[in-house]
Amino acid sequence: MSNGWTNQEERGTPFMLYLIRWIAMNLGRTTARIILYPITLYFLIFAPTARQASRNYLQRVSDKPVHISHIAKHIHHFSATILDRVFLLTGKFSTLDIQVHNIELIEKQLDSGNGCILLGSHIGSFEILRALAIAKHNLPVKVLMQEAHNEMITRILHSLNPDIADSVIQLGKPDALLKVHEYLQEGYLIGILGDRVVDSHKTMPCKVIGAEATLPTGPLLIASALKSPIVLFFGIYDGGNKYDIYFEEFADHISIDRNYRDRDLHYWMQKYADRLTHHAKQSPYNWFNFYDFWKNNA
């Protein structure tokens, strides 16, 4: 099995990333956003795999002819969310217009004293969750993730806020699941991205935007094993300085009968895939999987 996203080369140099960070922090968001245009042009010219993946995805999600301007807008949306991480990680929330929907789901979970899994995806900005929760509201959040991919940009951005950097539970470490269990018992919210395959032996085919793709079963198996509730999370970028954060009820507990494991697991996996499809269609330029999701993910 080929995990297309793990084979993508990390682009950019430390100098350029530090320069962008310096401009953002010292000259402000308006000036920094000017950089997004040459960045978009760079990827249009020098990232043919990402460009083609964008075209294929946009054709699939819209079922209309895709022009280069649509691909440019797609890349520009992604670049904008990366840039905004600088402002999120440094607590400069006043530069952004952030609307939160269904926050009562999280408040209810925190009031219960029990943790839950916040299941997200690469639709929109997942970083906005950590920034809001930790930098602004001091909420107990940990994120289970693999930092090895895009390590350079992750390291540079995390240097802006050590508290957020410390919120990571390293996916793949022997004690990762134990840490997740301990933090859930302490009432933490555990963020997990559920749309990219890491372990090719723990996958299941589901229909995403009308075609079969392979999704990782790990997040739902973790929730089932630890008897954790799941709340879905989507941080949608609406252009300009606008973000909409959506929390959605998903499951109080993932119940999987050992005699009907595949059937039950597929039910929950497809339920998650359906929400990916919904938000991709609602906000098509927020799909940030710039590889052949339907081919390389299988």
Q: What is the dihedral of CA 271, 274, 276, 277, to 10 degrees?
A: 170
- The whole-number pLDDT of residue 2 equals 39
Q: Phi and psi at residue 270, in whole multiples of 5°?
A: -70, -30
Q: Which H or E run contains 249?
A: strand 242-251
- The whole-number pLDDT of residue 273 equals 98
Who has greater pLDDT, 254 or 19? 254
Strand extents, DSSP E, 71-174? 97-101, 116-120, 141-145, 168-170
Half-sphere exposure of 1 (CA within 13 A, CB side): 21
Q: What is the CA radius of gyration of the chain?
A: 19
Indicate whether 255 pLDDT > 70. Answer: yes
Going by DSSP bridges, is the β-strand pair 116-120/189-193 parallel, antiparallel, or unpaired? parallel
CA dist., res. 248 & res. 102, Å (int): 7
Q: pLDDT digits over 158-214, tens only?
A: 677 777 778 889 888 889 999 999 999 999 999 999 999 877 678 999 999 999 999
CA dist., res. 285 & res. 128, Å (int): 17
Who has greater pLDDT, 129 or 237? 237
CA dist., res. 235 & res. 212, Å (int): 24
Counting beta carbons within 10 angstroms of the beta carbon of residue 67, is it exposed (0 to 12), middle (13 to 18) or buried (19 or more)? Answer: exposed
| Rounded average pLDDT over 85-94 | 87
How do the domains of the chain map onto residue ranges?
4-286
Q: Tell me what percent of the residues of the chain surpass a pLDDT of 70.
A: 90
Q: pLDDT digits over 36-72, tens only?
A: 999 999 999 999 999 999 999 999 999 889 999 999 9
